[in-house]
A and B are shown apart, each in its own frame.
Chain A
Amino acid sequence: MGSPVYIDALGPTGPYRSRERLPLTSLSGARIGEISQVPALYVRRTLAAMRGAPVVPAADRFAALEKAADLFLTATIGGLDPEEYIRLVSTASGVPLGVVRQSVDWVADVLRSQRDTVELAMPRGAVGDWRDSRTLDGSAVWTRRGDLFAVHAAGNTPAVHGLWPEALALGYKVALRPSTREPFTAYRLVSALREAGFPPLALTLLPTDYAAADVIIAEADYAMVYGGQDVIDKYAANPHVLPQGPGRSKILVTADVDWREKIDIIAGSVSHLGGTACTCATAVLVEGDPEPLARALAEKLHEIPSLPADHPDAILTVQPTESVVEVDRYLRKVSADARPFLGGGTIVDELPSGGSVLRPAVHLVDSSTAPQLDVELPFPCVWVGPWRPEDGIAPLRDTLVLTAMTTRTDLVDALLDEPSITNVYLGDNPTTWLRPGIPHDGYLGEFLMRTKGVIRTGV
């Protein structure tokens, strides 16, 4: 990279560079630039100003979202053309270049499909605007529960920015706190949306520390927060916060299906996006002997080469060696009595170009209640275990995506009835399958909108 990159706040009156800044570094430790850390006072004043601003009309919102998709993909923003931006994300966050590209395309697709997504999410009894003629006879109108939506974004891959644009489409004003590790996508996306027509008070970027980040959540009407189990616990009782925590996605293979034909789908579910997504499979439960599957999965994942993140063929994530060593140490601790089939020695593979690859790990556990099955780590790390019909749904609970490779319809019914399973994919669909318009954690509209009864004359 050439000149230093400054991630400024994007506030009510444009970019704001605070005196308090943190360094942005690449995996090799090289200085990339600096990210502003705005004080709580700035946060509060920004949110107050946003609250006082008018809502952008729906037609303008959808037009701007579509235009922003193009800008996000093609424009030079903040001095970075698309290729420079993608490379920067990869070198700074260690996400493989190909994964970054894929994620960027995904975000653009999401922006383009908001018109449809909002339509799909709206209850069938409702209209989107009270002016609709259906309200003359009485109708539900879909309305916002609040005005301000806050997002604490994560930096895993740019794809995490595929969820919150739905709030913008619904007419919420959005305050986005970027990840300090990878703020580039948030900056680029907010800039693109502003350039496409969203006024500054409809969408702000507020890089800040933990304390002021809490202020963003407290002052907004609703919020989405990415984090670990600690974040889930912190906001569990707060109905205004939608936490995005560990996915603990799983695959279940019942005895009526031959897993040997599915091994590529299973391996892909584990390694997709370098294993860093909440949709990546953390556990595979098998009816019958799980050991051959563990062995075959280990062989598949073993084939993936270790490459620098910015290599076009890279699949695995690269991180600073000391953090990879720490992850490895943690893996040793939690794996305990689980039998390793891959990554049993170490997952650390140091690269000559700096940083270390997180190599995949496959472990076999002896029971469907083994605690390891819930341990989600930020790399392709999978726990394989046995499942029996009499174990029932219990081992499959608390799962973002469950891929059930089964032909048993009664089991499918039970999975869909289980409240703690968020998405159910059947057959040959990897846990990582996504499509704009299909909910990931419900439609955001379910969280942010409500219907109101409206009947009118004279207006």
Chain B
Amino acid sequence: MCSAILDLTEDTSSVDPDEYISALMKWHFSAETGSPYWLRRARSLDFDPIVDVRTFADLSLFPNVINEFREVPVEDLIPRGLHGVDREVAGIFESGGTTGAPKRFVMFDRWMDFALGWDEFHYADLGTMNTLAIAPSGPHMFGEFASRRARRHNGVKFTVDLDPRWIKHLIARGDTDEADRYAEHLIDQAAHILTTQSVGILITTPPLLERVARRDDLVELVREHIRFICWSGAHMDADSRDIVKQEIFPGIPLKGLYGSTTILGMSRERPEERPDGLAVFDPPSPYIVFRVVRPETGADVEFGERGQVVMNHLTKYALLPNNLERDTALKVEPLPGALGCAVAHVRPVTTFDDTAVIEGVY
């Protein structure tokens, strides 16, 4: 089968979106190239993906199957059409596991390298330096991305053990003191690295970056040595971002990656902010494509409006359509030629906990 259009390319301007989607459907739903999971799953779909899905918009026919990834054996997720270097696995990565059992995904080496390159231009002038990752380790893709980032700068990766599920478990149990101790334990270890080692790139999550910022001695060290801060894995609200950029770490590039294990990658922060100062995130279309929808109807919102984020991973390495994320964002005009949209001002879906407490006067 001819699938050249599915080969990853930096310059996707010549890729016809509809042609790409059609080829992608043929790949994932043909017996010789598709994964056992999708070939099996296709039987219970009420449409024929090869016939009925010809455009990006048609992808909305797919149900959100992401919960099935909690149970599927990972071998079943490997498309049969992958061979040779295409078939090299970088790792098995898992979602956070906040809601029930974690979902498991196969990360292929080629795709991971491509995904890492998506925000490469941010790092272009940095040269040789080491990386410190205060980020989820173990089955989380964040740690592996940091390792690869370090290698690209001919440096090493310093890191700490970080089990985000244990923190979430403590918080769910209401044991915020213990969660706090765990987080401080991470910062203590990072402090030791920052104090004794040469580090130029800091990769971490917004909550941990805030903890670094709470310690005056670490703020000094970061200001002195760190040349680039990359955050991901959680939300950074626009107000906090302003404070970090303007007051805490002025002059140090601060760039976010907004993504998810469930799409095996991230969107990158645009070099230029919107006029209102908000960061804009572009996914690597057509491989990862975002939509922003009205949660009640699933219909796309207009540009400039807020809605719930839907993420799609659309490569020959995996098909992960219609992931409704637990985030809302403003829908922003995409890069020229890109499918879907860019997003800005991402924040978690508000869990309205104002359950009317009536008794009492306050």
A377:B358 contact, CB within 8 angstroms: yes
Which A residues touch B362, using CB under 8 A? 154, 156, 226-228, 231, 244-245, 278
- Chain B, residue nearest A246 (CB): B360
CB distance from B260 to the nearest CB of A (A): 22
Which B residues touch A154, using CB under 8 A? 361-362
User: Contacts A41-B210, A44-B214, A210-B353; is A330 near B358 (CB within 8 Å)?
Assistant: yes
From A40, A244, A280, A375, contact of B359 by CB (8 A): A375
From B239, B278, B358, B360, contact of A18 by CB (8 A): B239
Complex CA distance for A131 and B7, rounded to whole angstroms: 82
Which B residues touch A330, using CB under 8 A? 358-359
A81 interfacial contact with B, CB 8 Å:
no
From B213, B240, B247, B361, contact of A39 by CB (8 A): B240
B301 interfacial contact with A, CB 8 Å:
no
B-facing mask of A9-22, CB < 8 A → 1, else 0?
A: 00000000011100
B244 interfacial contact with A, CB 8 Å:
yes
From B242, B243, B361, contact of A246 by CB (8 A): B361
CB distance from B16 to the nearest CB of A (A): 39
- Chain A, residue nearest B359 (CB): A228
Which A residues touch B85, using CB under 8 A? none
User: Contacts A39-B237, A41-B213; is A156 near B243 (CB within 8 Å)?
Assistant: no
- Chain B, residue nearest A37 (CB): B239
Complex CA distance for A106 and B103, rounded to whole angstroms: 59
B238 interfacial contact with A, CB 8 Å:
yes
B240:A227 contact, CB within 8 angstroms: no
CB distance from A269 to the nearest CB of B (A): 14
A276:B243 contact, CB within 8 angstroms: no
A277:B361 contact, CB within 8 angstroms: yes
User: Contacts A154-B362, A378-B360; is A42 near B214 (CB within 8 Å)?
Assistant: no
Interface residues of A in 264-317 (CB under 8 A from B): 276-278, 280
**B interface size (C-beta, 8 A):** 20
Which B residues touch A231, using CB under 8 A? 362
- Chain A, residue nearest B211 (CB): A44
- Chain B, residue nearest A277 (CB): B361
Which A residues touch B237, using CB under 8 A? 19-20, 39
Which A residues touch B358, using CB under 8 A? 326-327, 330, 377-378
User: Contacts A40-B210, A41-B244; is A246 near B239 (CB within 8 Å)?
Assistant: no
B356:A20 contact, CB within 8 angstroms: no
A247:B210 contact, CB within 8 angstroms: no
Interface residues of A in 1-59 (CB under 8 A from B): 18-20, 38-42, 44-45, 48
From A156, A228, A277, A375, contact of B357 by CB (8 A): A228
CB distance from A314 to the nearest CB of B (A): 18
Complex CA distance for A438 and B248, rounded to whole angstroms: 46
CB distance from A320 to the nearest CB of B (A): 12
A230:B213 contact, CB within 8 angstroms: no
A41:B359 contact, CB within 8 angstroms: no
B360:A229 contact, CB within 8 angstroms: yes
User: Contacts A20-B239, A39-B243, A41-B243; is A377 near B356 (CB within 8 Å)?
Assistant: no
A378:B361 contact, CB within 8 angstroms: yes
B240:A376 contact, CB within 8 angstroms: no
Complex CA distance for A214 and B360, rounded to whole angstroms: 20
**A interface size (C-beta, 8 A):** 36
Interface residues of A in 347-385 (CB under 8 A from B): 375-378
- Chain B, residue nearest A231 (CB): B362
Which B residues touch A44, using CB under 8 A? 210, 214
Complex CA distance for A45 and B240, rounded to whole angstroms: 11
Q: Which of B237, B238, B240, B362 lies at the interface centre, i.e. has the most chain A CB atoms within 10 A of its CB?
A: B362
Complex CA distance for A377 and B357, rounded to whole angstroms: 10
Complex CA distance for A229 and B358, rounded to whole angstroms: 10
B353:A246 contact, CB within 8 angstroms: no
A-facing mask of B228-248, CB < 8 A → 1, else 0?
A: 000000000111101110010
- Chain A, residue nearest B244 (CB): A41
CB distance from B235 to the nearest CB of A (A): 10
Complex CA distance for A41 and B238, rounded to whole angstroms: 11
- Chain B, residue nearest A153 (CB): B362
Complex CA distance for A376 and B244, rounded to whole angstroms: 45
Interface residues of B in 331-362 (CB under 8 A from A): 353, 356-362
From B213, B240, B244, B360, contact of A228 by CB (8 A): B360
Interface residues of A in 207-241 (CB under 8 A from B): 210, 226-231
Complex CA distance for A212 and B244, rounded to whole angstroms: 17
Complex CA distance for A48 and B237, rounded to whole angstroms: 21
Which A residues touch B239, using CB under 8 A? 18-20, 38-39, 41-42
Which A residues touch B244, using CB under 8 A? 41
Which A residues touch B238, using CB under 8 A? 19-20
B-facing mask of A423-440, CB < 8 A → 1, else 0?
A: 000000000000000000
Complex CA distance for A280 and B361, rounded to whole angstroms: 10
Which B residues touch A42, using CB under 8 A? 239-240, 243
From A41, A156, A326, contact of B361 by CB (8 A): A156
CB distance from B119 to the nearest CB of A (A): 24
A323 interfacial contact with B, CB 8 Å:
yes
From B242, B278, B356, contact of A326 by CB (8 A): B356
Which B residues touch A375, using CB under 8 A? 359
- Chain A, residue nearest B360 (CB): A228
CB distance from A358 to the nearest CB of B (A): 12
- Chain B, residue nearest A232 (CB): B360
Complex CA distance for A42 and B239, rounded to whole angstroms: 8
Complex CA distance for A326 and B354, rounded to whole angstroms: 14
Which B residues touch A39, using CB under 8 A? 237, 239-240, 243
Which B residues touch A278, using CB under 8 A? 361-362
Complex CA distance for A39 and B244, rounded to whole angstroms: 12
CB distance from A178 to the nearest CB of B (A): 13
Complex CA distance for A376 and B361, rounded to whole angstroms: 7
Complex CA distance for A244 and B361, rounded to whole angstroms: 10
A-facing mask of B292-322, CB < 8 A → 1, else 0?
A: 0000000000000000000000000000000
Complex CA distance for A149 and B290, rounded to whole angstroms: 46
Complex CA distance for A287 and B213, rounded to whole angstroms: 63
Q: Which of B242, B278, B360 lies at the interface centre, i.e. has the most chain A CB atoms within 10 A of its CB?
A: B360
Interface residues of B in 253-298 (CB under 8 A from A): 278
CB distance from B239 to the nearest CB of A (A): 5
CB distance from B299 to the nearest CB of A (A): 25
Complex CA distance for A41 and B239, rounded to whole angstroms: 9
Complex CA distance for A41 and B210, rounded to whole angstroms: 7
CB distance from A185 to the nearest CB of B (A): 14
Which B residues touch A377, using CB under 8 A? 358-359, 361
Complex CA distance for A378 and B359, rounded to whole angstroms: 7
Interface residues of A in 178-223 (CB under 8 A from B): 210
Q: Which 9 A-B pairs have the closest CB atoms?
A: A228-B360, A154-B362, A246-B360, A226-B362, A41-B240, A39-B240, A18-B239, A330-B358, A39-B239
Q: List 16 A-B contacts (CB under 8 A).
A: A19-B237, A39-B243, A41-B210, A41-B213, A41-B244, A48-B214, A154-B361, A226-B362, A228-B359, A228-B362, A245-B360, A276-B361, A278-B362, A326-B356, A326-B358, A377-B358
Besides A20-B237, A44-B214, A277-B361, 6 new A-B residue pairs in contact (Cβ under 8 A), listed by A number: A45-B243, A48-B214, A245-B362, A330-B359, A375-B359, A378-B358
